[in-house]
Every structure is written in structure tokens, then in C-alpha cells.
A and B are shown apart, each in its own frame.
Chain A
């Protein structure tokens, strides 16, 4: 099973500043990596797939990078509506599909 590890657990960023979230896989997942946003009280929403492709309707301030075992989600200019928990997920070696434990993003 591929173990996904996210860091940090909680991130506090000022409005308008850049937020950088990390995700590491225990073995290579190529570019088969997705990022999800879960706002408080809501279902998860796909943000990024194939490590760097934005899903339909996702603002351009969200970008993904990486391949193999190291991945990054960057929010270039934090908005209040970006407060959420962000999860990475690998879909290269399945079953099982595996998620990271999440990074909670807060406004400073």
C-alpha cells in the first residue's frame, strides 16, 4: 500500500500571501496524484489531477507540481474562501486508493 504523508498538519497564512502544502508518497506514483479541498461542513472537491492539471472551474491561483514521490500544492494569493482541509490522493497503485491525512489551512 502506498502511504501518503502531508505536511504541515496546520498552516496559517495571511490574506494575499502564498500558501505551500506538501505531499510525499512512500513509493513513486508517477504523476497520478490529485488534490482535494474540503471546506468546513462540505464534501471534498477535486482541485488538481495528474499532479498539475486544474479541474474545471478551479481558480488559477491554485497550482500543483511534482512527480514521483514529492508533490506540492500552491495557492498564490490566499483568499478567505480558501480556508479548508486539503488532501492529496494517489491513484497510480490501487487498490487501495490512498489519501494523505490532510493539511488544515487557516487565515492568520
Chain B
């Protein structure tokens, strides 16, 4: 069964840092691009970042560029989102998903909640 499991969310103060993890199973992780998408409370979907299968290509939304870093460890079937200089507007449910340039994002994890507040 294809599965993605996010972890690492929590409450953090403005200006703080957090690292999200996404553990994958049931598919060829090292051959797959991976991505993060977030959803602020009661709002729509916003793409955050994507990393290529070999980790050499990384892409970011302008809203997080310079503050977030996406990375991966293919030996652990896990990818990460390192978030720093967090702002209140980064508060959201963060989903990881398997990315594809040819067929959209599928599947998705259940999400991990990040709350930025003092």
C-alpha cells in the first residue's frame, strides 16, 4: 500500500524554526519527485516546495523562498521541509505528496499542523 506519513508539526513562536518529515512506503521513493502543499485554516491549497527524485532540483513558492529548505534522504525513504523565520501566515496544515510533472500530486499524506503564534 502506498503511504505517506508526515510528522514534526507543532506550536512555534514567530521567528522560530521547525523541521517537518514525510516518511514514504509502498512505491519507488528514490525515483519520485516529492512535494509539500499547505492549507491555512479554512482556506485553499497552496503549493510550497518540490524536490526532484535525485535531490538536485529544488523549487519553492515565492512566499517561502529563502526561509524554507526542502531536502530528502533516499536511504530512509524520507523527505523534509526545514522551515525558519516562521511567520503567523505560515500557520497551516502541511501535506506531503508524491509529485509528478505529468500527472499531478498523488498520493497525499494526512498532514501535520504548524501553528506560528506567541
Question: Which residues of A pack against B, CB within 8 Å?
Answer: 34, 36, 38, 43-46, 49-50, 53, 55, 87, 89, 91, 94-102
Contact = CB atoms under 8 A, between A and B. Distances in A.
| Interface of B, helix, strand, loop or mixed by DSSP | loop
**9 tightest A-B CB contacts, nearest first:** A34-B104, A46-B106, A97-B47, A49-B103, A95-B59, A43-B108, A49-B104, A99-B45, A102-B44
Given A95-B60, A97-B47, A99-B45, A43 B106 contact: no
B105 A43 contact: no
30 contacts: A34-B103, A36-B45, A36-B105, A43-B95, A43-B108, A43-B110, A44-B105, A45-B107, A45-B108, A46-B104, A46-B106, A46-B107, A46-B108, A49-B102, A49-B103, A49-B104, A55-B104, A87-B44, A87-B45, A89-B104, A95-B47, A95-B50, A95-B60, A95-B61, A96-B47, A97-B50, A99-B44, A99-B45, A100-B44, A102-B45
Interface of B: 35, 37, 44-47, 50, 59-62, 95, 100-111
B101 A91 contact: yes
A86 to B, nearest CB: 11
A59 B59 CA distance: 33
B95 A96 contact: no
Contact of A44 (B35, B45, B50, B59): B45
Given A89-B104, A91-B101, A44 B47 contact: no
